[in-house]
Amino acid sequence: MNDQSTTSKAADGASASSSRCVTVTLSDCKADEAHAVLDYLSSLFPYEESGPVTPDKHPHTPTVWSATLDVTTPATASSVPRRPVGVHGPVEVTLQGTPLDVAAVHGALEDAFEFHDEGTVSGDQEREVQLRISSR
């Protein structure tokens, strides 16, 4: 009887965590470029509760911006306005999540930017992709 309750708790715990998330980090760019990329991605995939990490108004601005995107229910192409996304120089982007979820965000970036794959690291259930993006 105890074994059954332990199993059902494990099953419930696994099913309770149904959101699919990709962590996006941006570096080697200015704050306005990071915000432009994150705003574009958030129009396709909502931010998870934590939202983006934004720079403080201090003399030492951060060099990395981060957000966690919920890719469980991406926006449909017809509901997202096509707008140019501009960045002044190349921006380094790292995507982390399951292979399927990372592929969804990768495809969204491919639709809006010129980019070069800088490398991929794959684990059992997670993938990390390094990209360098720039405006078309």
For the segment 46-75, what is each residue's pLDDT rounded down to a tens digit?
A: 775 444 455 555 556 667 889 999 998 776
Residue 76 has which token pair?
């449909």
Amino acid at 34: A
Residue-level pLDDT, tens digit, the chain, 136 residues: 444 433 333 333 333 346 789 999 999 888 888 888 988 898 888 775 444 455 555 556 667 889 999 998 776 655 555 555 778 888 999 999 999 999 999 998 988 888 899 999 998 899 999 999 998 7
Predicted pLDDT at 61: 60
Tell me the C-alpha distance between 19 and 17, whole Å. 6
DSSP state string for the chain: -HHHHHHHHHHHHHHH----EEEEEEESS-HHHHHHHHHHHHHHSPBPTT--B---SSSS--SEEEEEEE-SSPPPGGGS-------SS-EEEEEEE-HHHHHHHHHHHHHH-EEEEEEEEE-SS-EEEEEEEE--
Q: How many CB atoms lie within 10 A of CB 1?
A: 5
